[in-house]
Structure 1
Amino acid sequence: MPILSLQNISKSFGALKVSDDVSFDVPQGQALGIIGPNGAGKSTLFNLITGNIAPDAGSIRFDGQDVTRMPPMQRCLGGMGRSFQIPQPFGNLTVFENLVVAATYGQDRAEAAVTDLCVSVLERTELLARANQPARSLSLLQRKRLELARAMATGPKLLLLDEIAGGLTEGECQALIATIRAIHAEGVSIIWIEHVLHALTSVAERLLVLDFGRIIGMGPPDEVMQSREVREIYLGIDV
């Protein structure tokens, strides 16, 4: 049984169709990368999966349950975690307090019951040394790590990452990739939108390519990037 299944998902804003009959499955434990030019509908797709917007047609199943009309909080409680492209932590709270908030609300557990979990997540995301530091004082890489940590604190079965490598130096990017790869190795399914292609392909087993809300390619990364249509649309190469 796939962890996530989208069937014939469509969404329009007025005359603009941002998701056009999108169907795909994510098997348990797989990492799926999503690429496409700006305006391709990648963020809209994430918002449909997480319930921030509702589809006009189609269905979404998560962990065997129809969640098409389920609100975002219920999807989170069911095991769907998400990071956002622009990290917006609670700046006046410490790094540890940010995780406690995510864990208590994202798992509906008492604060005292999530302490060990939060420490474990801080270790896995290399933020333990920053635990008592205000979130507003973190560097960009540390804020990206905190965004990842907050998503992990909700105890996700499926982790959605939205351009988490954007804006990082090559060295910072490689360090973050190592953390994401370790999380994936633990069995967490991942869907990752990213423009930093080498970061994405170092983790993802499959790529999905969007253009104007429709899927134009899906399969193993090497195979997909050899597609004439993908190279012309995504890479801007006249093949």
Structure 2
Amino acid sequence: MTILSLHNVSKRFGALTVTDDVTFDVPRGQALGIIGPNGAGKSTLFNLITGNIRADAGRIDFLGRDVTRDPAMKRVQAGVGRSFQIPQPFEKLTVFENLATAASFGRRLPERAVTAACLDILEQTELMRRANTPAGQLSLLERKRLELARAMATGPQLLLLDEIAGGLTEGECQALVATIRAIHAQGTTIIWIEHVLHALNAVVERLLVLDFGRVIGIGEPAAIMASKEVREIYLGIEI
């Protein structure tokens, strides 16, 4: 079953086209990586999927329903969860309180169910020992884990990760990738934007390449990275 479909989606800001006739599908349970140079339109694509900005043309289907005009909160409650590139937790709230806030708004569950869901996510993201720690006191890796946990707390059927490995050391990156891989192994559908290619390759089954808002290629990671066009985009020279 296809969980997400984009059909000829475009977005412009004035004369600048940032998303140009983008079409692709994501099957349920798959992990799709999105790569491309800076300014390729990757984060804009996420904003279109989540409803933070509205497409100028095309259609976005989620779980078989047209959500193109749905606001962001309605998409969250339908099952679209997202982490952001720069973690912005409620720094004076504890880790648990951050999760409970996300779960309460995203899932609209009673208090007892919210608590049970958050405790399970704390275990999955290795944050249980920091549950009562104010978010402002966390290390960078822990803040990244909290950003992942907050996205999961909304109960997503589709989890969007925006450069979540950025800024981490090699060891920290490996630890976070192991957590994401375990979450995906439980059946969570993931779309992941990332510049750390070895992190993506450890999790995703397909790669999509964006350049100047257009889809340059989509397919099995090894084949995509072997593409002459993709290598020219990344190296900036003719191969």
Normalized against structure 1, the TM-score is what? 0.99
The within-5 A match list for 1:104-115 is: 104-115=104-115
Cα-to-partner distance string for 1:210-234 (whole Å, 9 max, x where unaligned): 0000001110000000111100002
CA shift for structure 1 position 38? 0.4
Cα-to-partner distance string for 1:98-120 (whole Å, 9 max, x where unaligned): 00000000111233321011000
Task: Name stretches of at least 5 consecutive residues in structure 1 with no aligned partner.
Answer: none
Give RMSD over aligned pairs.
Answer: 0.8
- Separation in structure 2 between the aligned mates of residue 219 and residue 237 of structure 1, nearest angstrom: 23
CA shift for structure 1 position 237? 4.9
The within-5 A match list for 1:48-87 is: 48-87=48-87
Match of 2:125 in 1: 125
CA shift for structure 1 position 176? 0.2
- Separation in structure 1 between the aligned mates of residue 235 and residue 104 of structure 2, nearest angstrom: 42
Task: Name stretches of at least 5 consecutive residues in structure 2 with no aligned partner.
Answer: none
CA shift for structure 1 position 36? 0.3
Task: Report the AA paired with residue 162 of structure 1.
Answer: D
Match of 1:40 in 2: 40
Cα-to-partner distance string for 1:145-193 (whole Å, 9 max, x where unaligned): 0000000111111000000000000000000000000000011100000
- Separation in structure 2 between the aligned mates of residue 201 and residue 17 of structure 1, nearest angstrom: 29
Match of 1:16 in 2: 16
Q: 1:136 is paired with a residue of what secondary structure?
A: helix
CA shift for structure 1 position 128? 0.1
Q: 2:136 is paired with a residue of what secondary structure?
A: helix
The within-5 A match list for 1:1-239 is: 1-239=1-239
Aligned residue pairs: how many?
239
Normalized against structure 2, the TM-score is what? 0.99
Q: 1:234 is paired with a residue of what secondary structure?
A: helix
Task: Report the AA paired with residue 198 of structure 2.
Answer: H
**Aligned residues with identical type, % of pairs:** 74
- Separation in structure 2 between the aligned mates of residue 141 and residue 237 of structure 1, nearest angstrom: 35
- Separation in structure 2 between the aligned mates of residue 101 and residue 113 of structure 1, nearest angstrom: 13
> In terms of mean alpha carbon deviation, does 27-36 or 229-238 score higher?
229-238
